[in-house]
Amino acid sequence: MIEDWSMDEVMAGLADGSIILVDVREPHEFALGHIPGSVSMPLSQFDPSALPDEPGRRLVFSCAAGVRSQHAIALARAAGLDHDSHYGGGFKEWFGAGGPVDHG
């Protein structure tokens, strides 16, 4: 089962520091715009052993629209990790709703 997080839940988790948002889009996509505070780990180079591991913080995967983030969860699970959360609306929803965006 995959837990689908809403934009409001992601915003709250980033604000209170309870999540690490892992953006699995490609570097050029991330550079054009990304959710502030997100960490870039492109799916094309995805290494589950390199995922951040900070006690008390949950990993939530994100991409453009929720497809690649589900693939990242599958890869993490195949490596024996128990991650299950993603932001299903992804950057497209975030940007479309006027959420803050960082560049670079």
pLDDT in tens, 34-89: 999 999 999 999 999 999 999 999 999 999 999 999 999 999 999 999 999 999 99
pLDDT at 72: 98
CATH 3.40.250.10 for the 3-96 domain, yes or no:
yes
Which residues is 62 bridged to in the sheet? 23
Domain ranges, ordered by start, for the chain: 3-96
Q: Which helix (H) or strand (E) holds 61?
A: strand 58-62
pTM for the structure as a whole = 0.96
Which own/partner contact pairs does 74-82 have at CB distance under 8 Å and 24+ positions apart?
Answer: 75/43, 75/46, 75/48, 76/48, 76/51, 78/48, 79/48, 79/49, 81/48, 81/51
* Distance from C-alpha of 103 to C-alpha of 85, rounded to nearest angstrom: 24
pLDDT above 90 (res 30): yes
pLDDT at 104: 87
Which residues is 4 bridged to in the sheet? 86
pLDDT at 94: 98
Region 97-103: mean pLDDT is 97
pLDDT at 63: 98
Q: Encoding tokens for residue 31?
A: 């550079």
Which residues is 22 bridged to in the sheet? 39, 61
